[in-house]
Structure 1
Amino acid sequence: MNAPWHLELGDGRRLRCRVIRNPRYRRVGLRVTPDELRISAPRAASEREVRAVAEDHRDWVRQALDRLAATRPRDAIHGDPLPRRLPLRAIDALWEVRYTTSTDGRCRVTRRDAAVTVQAPAATPEARYCEVLRRWLMREARRVFAPRLDAFAARHGLHYQRLGIRAQRTRWGSCSGQGSINLNYRLLFLPPELADYVLLHELAHTVERNHSPRFWAVLHGLTPRARELDRELDTCTGLIPAWTERR
């Protein structure tokens, strides 16, 4: 499985496939970047199973690749992707991103209506701009998800200790044994029903700490579409811009 292979997209294009295995993964998931298809898979998954998932989602991969090409312009100097728009589906928002030079040598992000402005000193590298924007989005994620989580907890009579916003590479969220919930700020890029599903999923873990049948019974009591949404969550990583990951 270490040998590189390519997925034929049926329109003359082919995309390099890279498999990332981890014992924590429960099923095969896909993420499309401009250069490759990243496939997350459990260690026990066979090569045939991994390839079958990729091939079954060929149309979805092709569409995701087209979306990336249409929405991620490249910096004219460095040839690297620099975010120009923020498609924050969780709040049904599409914000334009502008870049300006700060006069006081500080980095900051401001938003007015649907325009986000990132300010940084002259000659600031692109990676630094992205880092400033990531940090700002983490604060936005708290602003968005904290009241949602509180509302869900109150509605269903559940309790959690605290909320943390993280930039996990392999998880959308987690719940500690003490009832503290961590959410991935990249949930902002997911459709609202999937972002809300993750919040409910982690709240269910305040009752059942594992993924036993009892956990799923609790979760189904919170959202009857739990299994369906869980499957959708495994195939939506192509919605997450590559720049949101540190390099």
Structure 2
Amino acid sequence: MRRESWMRSKVNRPEFISSSGRVLSVAVRRRKGTRHMRLSIDLHNQIVASLPWHCSDRACQKFIDQNRNWLEKQINAAPEVSGLREWLKQSPRLSAGGRSLAVSMHLSSTARAHYRINVQGSCIEFYLPDGSGEVTRYNLVLQFAKAALSDRAAELASRIGVTYRRLSVRNQSSRWGSCSSRGTISLNWRLVLIEPRLQDYVIYHEFAHLTEMNHSRRFWTLLDRYDPQREEHEKELDALTPKIMRVRW
């Protein structure tokens, strides 16, 4: 009786056991209207099982077991999730104003975190109070990203002659940006982590949506006019996205 109870409990919590013996939990998402089971790896490197509404956990576990080899390959190929601190140690540059600037982090005796661009305009200097944690570091970089992306969007909008209602910079989990039908643009703070030309491409992409709220031929023709190298930039961004979107705080 105890064995049956244990087995039932195990089935009720779908999981994946890798070839090395590591046990990985599976996030189960049931949706009405979904007809087929599907497995994926999200940007937190979590296994996600998308299931029809009435699909049982037992059927989900069986599907996971049947796709063990595919899951193993996907998990091994997924970039590692990294914290902002580790990312900036490996890639100490941020983009602003169409330029790539060096980054330096300093401990400060002041109680307030702040940043400044050096006199030469080549380096962003971040000052963190002694003892501050990752949240303070993230908030300071987010503050910089809001200012840098707002300024760059305004500059590019003036260059091509478009207007938008409002711009926000947020911590989207998987999207680089969005544009509402009311002319509100939202950008991902991680845009400051990528090369200036790719940052500009994303901003132009959202500007094109101010006119075309779709991905029709007219949309791509308009975006080609804003960014003549958009196909090249799009390929570069697609290749970088899985890695950059895994930068967390």
TM-score by length of 1: 0.60
In structure 2, the partner of 1:14 is none
Residue aligned with 2:223, SS: helix
Gaps of 5+ in 2: 1-14, 32-39, 52-66
Matches of 1:216 and 1:18, distance apart in 2 = 40
Matches of 2:232 and 2:151, distance apart in 1 = 25
Residue 116 of structure 1 is aligned with which of 115, 123, 126? 126
Matches of 1:158 and 1:29, distance apart in 2 = 38
Q: Which letter maps to 1:97? A: M
Residue aligned with 2:239, SS: coil
Residue aligned with 1:170, SS: coil
Q: Which letter maps to 1:161? A: R
The offset of 1:146, in angstroms, is 2.3
Alpha carbons 1:99, 1:117 under 8 Å: kept: yes
The offset of 1:133, in angstroms, is 2.2
The offset of 1:21, in angstroms, is 11
Matches of 2:170 and 2:140, distance apart in 1 = 12
Residue aligned with 2:186, SS: strand
Pairing of 1:172-187 with structure 2 (within 5 A): 172-187=176-191
The offset of 1:135, in angstroms, is 2.0
Pairing of 1:131-146 with structure 2 (within 5 A): 131-146=135-150
- The alignment covers a number of residue pairs equal to 204
In structure 1, the partner of 2:105 is 97
Q: Say if 1:187 and 1:3 are closer, same or farther in 2 by CA, change over 3 A.
A: same
The offset of 1:96, in angstroms, is 1.6
Q: Say if 1:221 and 1:38 are closer, same or farther in 2 by CA, change over 3 A.
A: farther
TM-score by length of 2: 0.60
Matches of 1:82 and 1:151, distance apart in 2 = 26
Can you list the C-alpha shifts for 1:18-70, whole angstroms capped at 9, x where unaligned?
A: 999999xxxx9997xxxx96899x99xxx8xx88x969xx7xx8xx87xx8xx
Q: Which letter maps to 2:94? A: L
Matches of 1:132 and 1:86, distance apart in 2 = 18
Pairing of 1:23-42 with structure 2 (within 5 A): none
Residue aligned with 2:211, SS: coil
Gaps of 5+ in 1: 7-16, 73-80
Pairing of 1:40-79 with structure 2 (within 5 A): 72=86
Matches of 1:82 and 1:232, distance apart in 2 = 20
Q: Which letter maps to 2:138? A: R
Matches of 2:25 and 2:218, distance apart in 1 = 35
- State, as a whole percentage, how many aligned pairs show the same letter: 27
In structure 2, the partner of 1:11 is none
Q: Say if 1:141 and 1:211 are closer, same or farther in 2 by CA, change over 3 A.
A: same
Can you list the C-alpha shifts for 1:115-146, whole angstroms capped at 9, x where unaligned?
A: 321115x5x5x3xxx22222222222233222
Matches of 1:30 and 1:226, distance apart in 2 = 26
Matches of 1:180 and 1:220, distance apart in 2 = 22
Residue aligned with 1:118, SS: strand
Residue 167 of structure 2 is aligned with which of 138, 158, 163? 163
The offset of 1:98, in angstroms, is 2.2
Query: Which of structures 1 and 2 has the bigger CA Rg?
Result: 2
Matches of 2:214 and 2:47, distance apart in 1 = 24
Pairing of 1:195-214 with structure 2 (within 5 A): 195-214=199-218
Alpha carbons 2:16, 2:25 under 8 Å: kept: no
Q: Which letter maps to 1:96? A: S
Q: Which letter maps to 1:88? A: L
Matches of 1:209 and 1:21, distance apart in 2 = 32
In structure 1, the partner of 2:57 is none
Q: Which letter maps to 1:118? A: L
Q: Confirm whether residue 87 of structure 1 aligns to residue 93 of structure 2.
A: yes
Matches of 1:135 and 1:203, distance apart in 2 = 27
The offset of 1:204, in angstroms, is 0.4
Alpha-carbon RMSD across the aligned residues, in angstroms, is: 4.6
